[in-house]
Amino acid sequence: MPAGKQQTGGLGSGKIDHVVIIFKENHTFDNYFGTFLGTNGMNMPRSPNPPHRDPDHRHSAWLTRQTTAVRQQFVEADIPSYFAYARKFTLCDNYFTDVAGPSTPNHLMVLAADSPFIDNPQPGDPSRISTSLPLSLDRRNLSWGNYGGYAFQYLSGVGGRNKFTSDQFAKDAVSGKLPNVSWVYATSQFDEHPPDPGKGLMGNVTRGMLWTVDQVNAIVKGGLWGKIAIVITWDDWGGWYDHVDPPNVEAWKLATPQPSYKGTQFRYGPRVPCLLLSPYAKSGYISKKLHSHVSLVRFCESIFGMICPIVLISIKLLPRHPR
C-alpha cells in the first residue's frame, strides 16, 4: 500500500496525468469515520457487518432523518484499510453529497455537476443532461472511462461510449493504461450498499473495502502512482445518521416526484467520507474545507487546465514514491 509524507506547494505543476474516482455506496461520514481521531465525528452503537437491512434513503426519508435515520456506525476493525488511508493521506470531514436523496442524482452530480432528479428516476425516464465532464474531456482530446457505472445513460452524447466492466479497471491499471479520468464502480458484491434481506455477503463493508484496496494496488503495480490522484468517496447517505446538517443552498423547485417535495432542500445532501490518495496529497491531513461531489468535477477541470483550481492537494516539484 502506498505511503505518504507531508508536502507543500499548490496545484498547477502538471504532474498529475490521471484522476481515478472510486464511487462506493451509501454511507455517511459518522457511519464510517465517526470514531476517527481529529475529525468532527460522533460515536454511535456499532452496526452489524453486513447490516441487517437497507435503510430508506430517498428524499422523503432524509426529510425525517432526525427521527428515522439509523444511528449506528462501523469502526476501524471493520474498515482498517480506509482508516490507514486516512492516516497516510487526506480525509475530508466537511464533504457533502450534492443532492439530499439517493444514488442516481448524486451519480449525475459527480459526472455533470447537475441533476434533473431528487430521487431515483423511473425506468425509461427520458431526462438528459446536455453538458458533462466526459463531453468537456472529449472537446480537449482527453480520455475518460466508465468502469461499471450506470448513470452515464442520462448524459447527452455520452451513452454507452467508453463503457467497460468493473473488473476491467484493475486489468487496465496493472497494464499502466488508464485514461485521464476514470470513474470506477464496484459490482453489488463489493459496493458496500446495505443488503436487501437474504442477500448474504452483499453489504459486507470489509469485503467492499478489500475490493477498493485491490484497485489501488493495481494502480501502484502498473507504475502509475507517481502521476495520479485517487479519490474514494460514497455516493449518498444510505439512510444512516450524520450529526452535521448540510448547508442549504438550493431548494427543489418542482412538485415531483411528490408534491410535498417542492421547496424542500435539494442541495447540499448529507455528509459522506472522501479520501484523497496521491503522492501529492497532504499526509495525515483532515480537510475542513467545504467540498461536495461537484468539487470532483472542478478538481478534474483544474488538473487538466479547464478552470481555476480548488485546493484539495498540494504539489511539489518531485513526487514521493510508494513504500
Enter the C-alpha cell of residue 77.
476493525
18-303 belongs to which homologous superfamily? Alkaline Phosphatase, subunit A (3.40.720.10)
Q: What is the pLDDT of residues 230-259, one digit of tens each?
A: 999 999 999 999 999 999 999 999 998 999
In the predicted model, what is the mean pLDDT of residues 4-28?
73
Span of 33-37, 44-48, 128-132, 267-271 with lowest mean pLDDT: 128-132
Tell me, what amino acid is at 208? G
Span of 32-46, 71-85, 183-197, 281-295 with lowest mean pLDDT: 183-197
Q: What confidence score (pLDDT) does residue 12 get?
A: 38
Q: What confidence score (pLDDT) does residue 138 get?
A: 95
Q: What is the DSSP string of 60-82?
A: HHHHTHHHHSB--B--TTTSHHH
Q: What confidence score (pLDDT) does residue 296 get?
A: 97
> Which one is predicted more confidently, 204 or 309?
204
- The pTM assigned to this predicted structure is 0.92
The Cα 223–Cα 218 span in angstroms is: 9
Per-residue pLDDT at 159 exceeds 50: yes
Per-residue pLDDT at 1 exceeds 90: no
Inter-residue contact 15 to 280 (CB < 8 Å): yes
Q: What confidence score (pLDDT) does residue 200 get?
A: 63
Under the banding of pLDDT at 50, 70 and 90, the label for residue 106 is very high
The Cα 56–Cα 101 span in angstroms is: 10
The full set of domain ranges for the chain reads: 18-303
- Average pLDDT over the chain, rounded to an integer: 91
Q: What confidence score (pLDDT) does residue 305 get?
A: 87
